[in-house]
Amino acid sequence: MLAQYLPVLGLLIFALLFGVGGFLTSGLLAPRSPNARKAAAYECGMVPAKDTPERFPVTFFLVAMIFIVFDVEIIFLYPWVIANGTLGAFGLFSILIFSFLVFESLLYLVSSGALEWGPVSQIRRARTEMVDADRTTSSTVRRVGLEGRPLEPQDQTEEAG
């Protein structure tokens, strides 16, 4: 059985030779004149002012987490799909229960807002505490040019009253 992997191994060796051979040829043929500016981090010509960010949003971590959950589910689905013909209704119902529980974890993750990447400003725009160009009950002045900005604190109470 293992002989079936022989051609894959052969292609692996060829691919490695191709890559390493490329590096070696380039190493022999390419010019080499490094200087400090070339070797600095590329920032479109600017001198790098800040260090690389050290922390990333927790959302990335949670995506990896839900991926593990689904990966394990997929791994368990594969034996089922291969044997579906012989397992029949029993297999179907056990996999339905399993999938429901996994789907539930996706629901939990989504509903806790963990998969929300969207710009929050878009959500804010829908809120009412914004300057409106229209006349209000307390003022007849049309406030043009400030639409969509948050109200000043005193205006907010006015608006509410």
Partner 1 sequence: MNLLALSLPAVLAQSDSGDLLVAQNIAFGIIAATMLFSAWRVVSTNNIVHAALYLVIALAGVAAIFILLGAEFVGVTQILVYIGAVVVLFLFGIMLTRARLGDVESVDHENRLIAALTAVLLAVVMSYALIDSFGDTRIDIETPSTTQAVSDSIFSDYIIPFEAVSLLLLAALIGAIVVARREDGS
Partner 2 sequence: MSVFAVDPLLAGEVGLEVLAVVLFKVLVVFVLLIVSVMLMIWAERKIISDMQNRIGPTRAGPWGILQTLADGLKLIFKEDLIPDNANRTVFKLAPLLTLVPAFLTFSIIPLGGDFTDKDGVISLFGNDTYLQLADPPIGLLLFLAMSSVAVYGIMLAGWSSGSKYPLLGSVRATSQMISYEAALGLTVAAVFLQSGSFSTHTIVSEQSVWQWNMWFTGFVPMAIFMIAATAELNRPPFDLVEAEQELVGGFHTEYSSIRFALFYLAEFMNTITISAIVVTIFLGGPNGPIFIDAVAWLWPILWFTVKLFALLFTFIWMRATLPRFRYDQLMDLGWKVLTPVALGWLLFLGARDVANDRGWNPVLVVGVAVTAFAVFGALLLRAVRMGKQVRELEEMRG
> Under the rule (CB under 8 A), what is the footprint of partner 1?
1-2, 5, 52, 54-56, 58, 60-69, 71-76, 78-80, 82-83, 86-87, 90-91, 94, 97-98, 101-102, 104-105, 108-109, 112, 114
Beta bridge partners of 130: 150
Per partner kind, with CB cut-offs from 5 to 8 A, the member of partner 1, partner 2, none near residue 55 is: partner 1
Question: Could you say which of 94, 112, 138, 156 contacts partner 2 (CB under 8 A)?
Answer: 112
Of 73, 70, 51, 72, nearest to 62 by C-alpha is 70
Would you call 69 exposed, middle or buried from its count of C-beta atoms within 10 A (0-12, 13-18, 19+)?
A: middle
Helix (H, G, I), strand (E, B) or coil at 80: helix
The Cα 61–Cα 63 span in angstroms is: 5
Please report whether residue 129 would count as binding partner 2 according to CB under 8 A.
Answer: no
| CB nearer to partner 1: pick between 5 and 14 | 5
The Cα 85–Cα 87 span in angstroms is: 6
Q: Please, which residues have CB within 8 angstroms of residue 66's CB and are 6 or more apart in sequence?
A: 105, 106, 109, 115
Please report whether residue 131 would count as binding partner 2 according to CB under 8 A.
Answer: no
Please report whether residue 22 would count as binding partner 2 according to CB under 8 A.
Answer: yes
Q: In angstroms, what is the minimal distance from the CB of 134 to partner 2?
A: 25
Tell me phi and psi for residue 41, to 5 degrees.
-65, 140
Q: Which stretch binds partner 2 (CB under 8 A): 78-86, 133-141, 149-157?
A: 78-86
Q: In angstroms, what is the minimal distance from the CB of 20 to partner 1?
A: 18
Q: In angstroms, what is the minimal distance from the CB of 50 to partner 1?
A: 15
